[in-house]
Chain A
Amino acid sequence: MRSSQKGVTLLELLVALALFAVAAPLVANALFQGVRSAAKVRASIDARRAEDRLFARLEADLRNALPLSQAAFIGDADRFSFPLAGSLKRVTYEAKNGALLRSESDLKGGDASRTFLGDDVEKFSVEYAYADPSGKITFLPYWTKEPYAGLPRAVRVRMVRSGGVSESLVTLPQGHFGKAGE
C-alpha cells in the first residue's frame, strides 16, 4: 500500500499511454489541419488585401485626375488614361495579355514607366457615366476626347479574375456627366 501511494502504477501508466496513443493522432491531425487552414486563410486575406490595394490605388488615381484641355481624359472599354494632379504625368490603366498594367508617361506621351499590378486578369472592362436629357444615368464603354469633354463624373471598373469578380464605382470630384442621346 505504501508503494502505491507514492507513484504511478504500471496499470495507470499503460492506460495513460493507450489513451495518448488514441488521442495523439487525432490532436495532431486537428493541429495540422488548423495550421493548413490558417495558411490558406492568410493567403486568401493577402490576395484580398492586394486586390483592395490595387483598387484603392486605381480609385485614388482616378480622383486625382486633372481636367486639362491639352491632355484630355481618354476612356475606352478596356483602358483609360488621364493627366495626374501633382506630377502632371499621364497615367494609363490597361489590361494586356492577362496582366493589369499602370503606366506613367509625360504629357506628350514620351517614355512610359510601367508598373505591374496583377496577373490572371480574364476581363477588364470600364464604363463611364452619361446622363440623357431626362437626367437618367447610363454607363457607356467610352469617353469622348473630341471635342474636349473634361472628366467623367463616374467611372465603373470591373475586373474578372479566376478568384472572382471585383467591381468599383469611382466618383471623380471634378468630373461631370457625359451627354447621352445627342
Chain B
Amino acid sequence: MRQRGSVLIASVWTLSVLFLLSTSLAFYASVFVRSARERTELFVSGTVFASSVPWMARLFSEDVSAVNDAPGEAWLGTVTVPERWRRDLWIESRDEESKLNLNSAPGPVLQELFASLKRQQVFLADESETARAIVEYRAHKPFEHLEELALVGLDAEAREKLKPFVTVYAAKGLAPRVNLNTAPPPVLEAMTRTLPETAGPVRETILSALRRAREAGVVFTAEDLAPDRFASKLGLPRNPETDAAVATLAAEFTTDSALIRVEMTYRKRRFAEAVLEPTRDETRVLFWRERKVALHAA
C-alpha cells in the first residue's frame, strides 16, 4: 500500500495530460469544421449552378421532338436533378418563347397583357403608362435584358411578377414568336384580344377555342400553324373574318422553343437564374445571375 500516493499522483497527471490532449483535439476539430464549412459554401455556390448548365443543355438536346416543344417534356417545368442533389436542389425551367417579347410585341398587345394581369392582381402598375414607357424605351434601343425594365420605372417586385409573361430574348437569327403550346393564358388572351378591329366578335370565339384546346391538352405542331389547318384544328367556323383573324394570329405563333430560363433553388432559397440557348455545339448564356448559397442559414 506504499504506492497509494504515487497512484494518486500518476492518475492526476494522466488526467491532466488527457485533458490537454482532448482540448487541443477539440480545438483542431472546431477549426477544421469551420473552414470546411466555409469552403463547402464557396464550392457549392461556385459549382452547382455551373454544372447545371451542361445538365440542362443535355436534357434539352435529348428533347424528343426537335421542332415542337410542349408541356410535359423533360427539360420543362420542374426538372429532375441527379440523385445526389435531389434532397436540396430544385431546378425550374421555362421556355422564353412562351412569353411576349418586349422588343417586338405591339404596344396595344403589351397593354392588354398588363391589363389582364392587373385583373388577376398580379401586376399593379398602370398598364397604359407601362406599355407606353416600354414602347418609348425600345424606340431608342432594344431591351437587352429584362433588368432594363427598372429604367422604365418598374421596381424589383413588379419585374419579378412579369417574368413568367414577358421576355426580351430571342434565338439567334429568328424573329421572336410565341410558343402556342407553352404560352400562359394571359399571353394568349392579350394576343387574341388585340387582333384587328375587323375581327370583331370573332376574337372571343378564337380565344375560347384556344382555351378549350389547352384544357383538352391538344399539342400543336408546326404544320398546324398553316392558316387553314389552324382554323380546323381549333374547330372554328370557316368564314372570311375568321380566316383573316386566324391567319394573322398564326403568323405570331411558333411551336418550337430554343431558349430556356432556368431557376435554381437550394434548400428553399432561390440562388441562381440564367437564360440559356443550348445548341448542338455549345450553350450560349444570354443571362446569368447568381447569389451566394447559405448552407447554414439560421
Assign chain B's interface to a size class: 35 or more
Whether the Cβ atoms of B285 and A173 lie closer than 8 Å is yes
In the complex, the answer to whether A174 meets B144 with C-beta atoms within 8 Å is no
CB neighbours of A63 from chain B (8 A): 288, 290
Task: Please name all residues of chain B whose beta carbon is closer than 8 Å to the beta carbon of A67 when the two chains form the complex.
Answer: 144
Q: Which residues of chain B are near A4, meaning CB under 8 Å? A: 2
Q: Evaluate contact between B289 and A64: CB separation under 8 angstroms.
A: yes
Q: Tell yes or no: A167 within 8 A of B by CB.
A: no
A5→B141 contact, CB < 8 A: no
A163 located at the interface, meaning its Cβ lies under 8 Å from any Cβ of chain B in the complex: no
Pair B27/A38 contact, Cβ less than 8 Å: yes
Do residues A59 and B145 form an inter-chain contact, with CB atoms below 8 A?
Answer: no
CB distance from A107 to the nearest CB of B (A): 8
Q: Can you name 19 A-B residue pairings with CB atoms under 8 Å? A: A4-B2, A9-B5, A16-B6, A19-B9, A27-B16, A27-B20, A31-B20, A45-B34, A45-B35, A52-B39, A56-B292, A64-B289, A64-B290, A66-B145, A85-B288, A85-B289, A88-B148, A173-B285, A174-B285
Please name the residue on chain B nearest to A64 by beta carbon: B289
**CB 8 Å contact bits of B187-219 with A (1 = contact, 0 = none):** 000000000000000000000000000000000
A12 touches B145 (CB 8 A): no
* B residues less than 8 Å from A68 (CB atoms): 144-145, 148
Q: A38-B27, A42-B31 are in contact. Are A86 and B4 (CB under 8 A)?
A: no
Q: Kindly state the separation between the CA atoms of A63 and B5 in the bound complex, as whole angstroms.
A: 69
Number of interface residues of A (CB under 8 A): 36
Q: Which residues of B contact A112 (CB under 8 A)?
A: none
* Bound-complex Cα distance A145 to B24 (A): 55
B146 to chain A, nearest CB (A): 10
Q: How far is the CA of A69 from the CA of B140 in the complex (A)?
A: 12
Most chain A CB within a 10 A radius of its CB, from B50, B151, B289: B289
Docked pose: A13 CA to B8 CA in angstroms: 11
Besides the contacts A5-B1, A38-B27, A85-B287, what 9 more A-B pairs have beta carbons closer than 8 Å?
Answer: A8-B4, A13-B5, A19-B9, A45-B31, A66-B287, A68-B148, A86-B289, A88-B151, A107-B151
> What B residues does A42 contact at CB under 8 A?
31
Chain B 10-29 near chain A by CB (<8 Å), digits 1 or 0: 00010010001000100100
Say whether A60 contacts B45, CB under 8 Å: yes
Interface residues of A in 21-49 (CB under 8 A from B): 23, 27, 30-31, 34, 38, 41-42, 45, 48-49
Task: Say yes or no: is B62 at the interface (Cβ < 8 Å to chain A).
Answer: no
The reply on A134 being an interface residue by CB < 8 A is: no
Contact at A56–B42, with CB atoms within 8 Å?
Answer: yes
Tell whether A162 is near chain B: CB-to-CB under 8 Å: no
Q: Is the CB of A88 within 8 A of B147?
A: yes
A80-138 residues with Cβ-Cβ distance < 8 A to B are: 85-86, 88, 107
CB distance from A51 to the nearest CB of B (A): 11
State the CA gap A68–B39 with chains docked (Å): 33
Contacts of B247 in A (CB 8 A): none
- The verdict on B46 contacting chain A, using a C-beta distance below 8 Å, is yes
Per the bound structure, the CA–CA distance linking A34 and B286 in Å amounts to: 54
A66 touches B147 (CB 8 A): yes
Top 6 nearest A-B pairs by Cβ distance? A12-B5, A8-B5, A85-B289, A173-B285, A173-B288, A174-B285
Quick one: which of B88-146 are within 8 Å of A by CB? 141, 144-145
**B79 in contact (CB, < 8 A):** no
Closest to A69 in B: B144
Question: Are A86 and B147 also in contact (CB < 8 A) when A16-B9, A60-B45, A60-B292 are?
Answer: yes
CA–CA, A48 and B50, complex, Å: 25
B150 is an interface residue with CB less than 8 A from chain A: yes
A residues less than 8 Å from B6 (CB atoms): 12, 16
**Could you give, for residues 239-260 of chain B, a 1 whenever the CB lies within 8 Å of some chain A CB and a 0 otherwise?**
0000000000000000000000
Partner of A60, one of B16, B150, B290: B290
User: Which residues of chain A are within 8 angstroms of B151 by Cβ–Cβ distance?
Assistant: 88, 107
Complex interface: chain A residues within 8 A of B27 (CB): 38
Q: Is B171 an interface residue (CB 8 A)?
A: no
Report B-chain residues with C-beta under 8 Å of the C-beta of A31: 20
Closest B residue by C-beta to A59: B46
Q: Which of B16, B20, B35, B46 contacts A49, CB < 8 Å? A: B35
